[in-house]
Amino acid sequence: MESLAQQITIDRSSPVPLYFQFAQQLQHLIESGVLPPGTRLSNEVTMADQFGLSRPTMRQAMQHLVDKGLLARKRGVGTQVVANRIRRQLEFTSLYEDLARDRRRPATEVLSIATVPAEPEVAAALQVPEGAEVVALQRLRLADGEPIALLHNHLPAGLVDLTPQALAGAGLYQLLRRSGIVLSTAEQTIGARRATAAEARLLAESRGATLLTMVRTARDASDRPVEYGSHVYRASRYAFEMTVAAH
């Protein structure tokens, strides 16, 4: 394989900051698979000298990619390439389906499944009386053996028969469709917040790490709410993508 010096070119006449030129080209090498996960990079001092950059500039470039979840600094190991973040188009599909489509080996740990009284937020979303029975699910979703999302879902009681075995082997929306439920529309809100201690432990993140959040209410063809989800995702391994059009 060609050395980094043969694959990265710094244009000092360009108005693009030097650190960003380097970071952008290194990101391309990572995302294209030229530098696969686990690849170790030289230390910042060596790389700065190699590319004729100042040490602060090289440090800024590397930190940029650490912040994007493409590099990780490990004590005693140095800087390594990590797995690319999973980028999910905002479509009416389940995370399980998206991961399977991208060949990311989805797996699910079913943490709990129970019938519980609907709390105010859940009752409002599902349009059922407060305290009415609903089915509550908590699952940990993994991709390529790595935890990426903690999923909380509520469904009206009696809507569909769900078992831990079925939930471990398929996405929730797949199971709903198999039961004859035609999904039609969804309302969702995306945000971000800090991880709680319990979330950080389950997702293999540090306490207080940034998590992406998504709250979604899905409806069937008759406009009946059939699922209310409140999910958190590792921001270091996951991103939402959307396409917008000008009118």
Q: What tens digit of pLDDT does each residue of 15-53 get? A: 888 988 898 899 889 878 889 888 999 889 999 999 999
* Residue recorded with tokens 């917008």: 244
CB–CB of 148/141 below 8 Å? yes
Out of 54, 81, 108, pick the residue that ends a domain: 81
Burial class of residue 116 in the structure, from the number of CB atoms within 10 Å of its CB (0-12 exposed, 13-18 middle, 19+ buried): middle
Kindly report, residue by residue over 151-209, the tens digit of the pLDDT. 999 999 999 999 999 999 888 988 998 999 988 888 888 888 889 999 999 999 988 88
Secondary structure (DSSP) of 144-197: TTEEEEEEEEEEETTS----HHHHHHS-HHHHHHHTT--EEEEEEEEEEEEPPH
Out of 81, 111, 130, pick the residue that ends a domain: 81
Q: Name which of 231, 244, 236 is nearest 190 in CA terms.
A: 231
Highest-scoring range by mean pLDDT, 9-13, 102-106, 132-136, 140-144 = 132-136
197 inside domain: yes
247 inside domain: no
Out of 25, 55, 81, pick the residue that ends a domain: 81
Q: SS3 for 42?
A: coil
* 103 and 20, same domain (yes or no): no
246 inside domain: no
Look up the domain containing 152 and give its range: 86-241
Q: What is the spatial distance between Cα 185 and Cα 151, in angstroms, rounded to a whole number?
A: 19
CB–CB of 79/43 below 8 Å? yes
* 123 and 68, same domain (yes or no): no
Other C-beta atoms within 10 Å of 42: how many? 13
Give Cβ neighbours of residue 89 (< 8 Å, ≥ 6 apart). 98, 241, 242, 243
Kindly report, residue by residue over 49-108, the tens digit of the pLDDT. 999 999 999 999 998 888 777 888 877 778 889 865 555 544 455 666 666 666 668 889
16 inside domain: yes
